[in-house]
Amino acid sequence: MFKKILIANRGEIALRIIRTCREMGIKTVAVYSTADKDSLHVKFADEAVCIGGPKSIESYLNIPHIMAACEITNADAVHPGYGFLAENSKFAQICADHGIKFIGPTPDMINSMGDKITAKETMIKAGVPVVPGGDGLLADVAASKKLAKEIGYPVIIKATAGGGGKGMRVVWNEGEIEKAYEAAKMEAGASFKNDGLYMEKFVEEPRHIEIQVAGDQYGNVCHLSERDCSIQRRHQKLVEESPSPFMTPELRQRMGEAAIKAASAINYESVGTVEFLVDKNRNFYFMEMNTRIQVEHCVTEEVVSYDLIKEQIKIAAGEKISGRNYEPQLHAIECRINAEDPYNDFRPSPGKITVLHTPGGHGVRVDSHVYAGYVIPPYYDSMIGKLITVAQTREEAINTMYRALSEYVIEGVHTTIPFHLQLMQNEDFRKGNFTTKFLESFKMK
């Protein structure tokens, strides 16, 4: 087992990783930017190293500084968390080259899922359902028009280097193709330095349902059931839950098998997530695979009683997984608490938290790095915590969530708490009646 893990991240996930390391008897090293010197991850780690200025590029994305921090603290592994360098294959390779274990998949595995056309080809070969579409890159506008006619409108143009919605355009008829193609190409080039595009049938009003998987170094792969992440706004998830209210035992069986096929196709090692679009007829299609621990991993932990960070560390250290699959035994919901103003188009609201009271009680988990007096820096994402509730049924989990949200007091900044309070009372949400389009028509009272 590792003796000392350096956590190349900040915020709640850095704290989450430190907590598990403590329980496993592993020493921790925090790295931090000058803007984060008063952060809890710095206080709770065994050692801390400042790696640069406030901007991510100067610190949390600064590979030479992070490698220097590994060297001076003698860390034998790096946990990248999510975001920042978590899916950077060059960083994973540099760690390997320096004899430091990157707690995640190999650079090859990251690359094979990072390019979406390559990932889709791999899935087709593995027998995982994908959205019907063209094979390979779109050559030009004319070729795009021809392909769209074959597929049938509406179609969607996506960036092969994309993910998370950037460089993506829905096209409803031939008249819109040229503009959509040019816009997607520009956006992809600017965002990813790769303007390659591909096309597929547009699945209308889908649900976003993802399957958590784990694979070890010996070829064993299992799944840990699904999370429903359909409650999103501009590709930012706000609420996740497990099980999905749309799930059936038969669909879970089929999606679980498909996710295992997907991970096995690249000999996946570590924990990861296979994202699917699910249409109203319960047809499901591979969308992307995330080769990292995700923000919403907690809902899975609560319903299958499994510490995903602990397993991720054990897998990286060469331990075997049990190989069995995990079914949800309870219902868990997570609300992302962001420093944003839901009455003002979710505008970021950095600043000082003057008053803080955190909810507790039966079935309540709070993963957060903030405290009274903490100043939320403007440089990073606006998530200041995750409120997770767990109960026997979905209705009870929602009721506990409403109760916990009502107890949560955060003053000094705007937060998404009022949004979540209204959502928990929404009739369609309570019925499990929602798709990825749900928040487009949701209005704050």
- What is the contact surface with ligand MV4 in residues (CB under 6 A)? 131, 156, 163-165, 200-203, 206, 208, 232, 235, 277, 287-288, 436
| Catalytic choice (292, 336, 365, 394) | 292
CB of 245 to ligand MV4, least distance (A): 16
* C-alpha 214: how far from chain center: 15
**Interatomic CA distance for residues 445 and 440, integer angstroms:** 15
DSSP per residue, 281-324: T--EEEEEEE-S--TTHHHHHHHHT--HHHHHHHHHTTPPP---
**Interatomic CA distance for residues 181 and 198, integer angstroms:** 10
Nearer of residues 163 and 363 to ligand MV4, judged by Cβ: 163
Nearer of residues 102 and 284 to ligand MV4, judged by Cβ: 284
Position 170, amino acid: V
**Interatomic CA distance for residues 31 and 50, integer angstroms:** 6
Backbone angles phi, psi at 208, to 5 degrees: -100, 105
CB of 202 to ligand MV4, least distance (A): 5
Nearer of residues 202 and 246 to ligand MV4, judged by Cβ: 202
Backbone angles phi, psi at 343, to 5 degrees: -85, -5
Check residue 130 and report its DSSP letter. Answer: B
Nearer of residues 162 and 243 to ligand MV4, judged by Cβ: 162
Nearer of residues 134 and 359 to ligand MV4, judged by Cβ: 134
CB of 155 to ligand MV4, least distance (A): 8
CB of 437 to ligand MV4, least distance (A): 8
Rounded to 10 degrees, what is the CA torsion of 17, 244, 226, 327? Answer: 100
Q: What residues have CB less than 8 Å from 81, skipping those under 6 apart?
A: 7, 8, 9, 13, 14, 17, 292, 293
CB of 237 to ligand MV4, least distance (A): 8
CB atoms within 10 A of CB 395: 12
Nearer of residues 52 and 162 to ligand MV4, judged by Cβ: 162
**Interatomic CA distance for residues 152 and 133, integer angstroms:** 10
Supply 135's token pair.
């094979």
CB of 151 to ligand MV4, least distance (A): 10
**Interatomic CA distance for residues 391 and 296, integer angstroms:** 17
Nearer of residues 11 and 162 to ligand MV4, judged by Cβ: 162
CB of 228 to ligand MV4, least distance (A): 11
CB of 56 to ligand MV4, least distance (A): 22
**Interatomic CA distance for residues 94 and 102, integer angstroms:** 9
Q: Quick one: which of 217, 118, 152, 138 has its CA closest to 181?
A: 138
What value does the CA radius of gyration of the chain take, rounded to a whole number of Å?
Answer: 21
Position 238, amino acid: L
- Under a CB-based contact definition with an 8 Å cutoff, are residues 184 and 226 in contact? no
Nearer of residues 202 and 429 to ligand MV4, judged by Cβ: 202
| Helix residue ranges, H only, 57-115 | 63-73, 89-97, 107-114
Tell me whether residue 292 is one of the annotated catalytic residues. yes
Nearer of residues 117 and 203 to ligand MV4, judged by Cβ: 203
Residue 22's H or E segment, with its range, is: helix 11-24
Check residue 203 and report its DSSP letter. Answer: P
**Interatomic CA distance for residues 292 and 17, integer angstroms:** 13
CB of 313 to ligand MV4, least distance (A): 28
Residues serving a catalytic function are 292
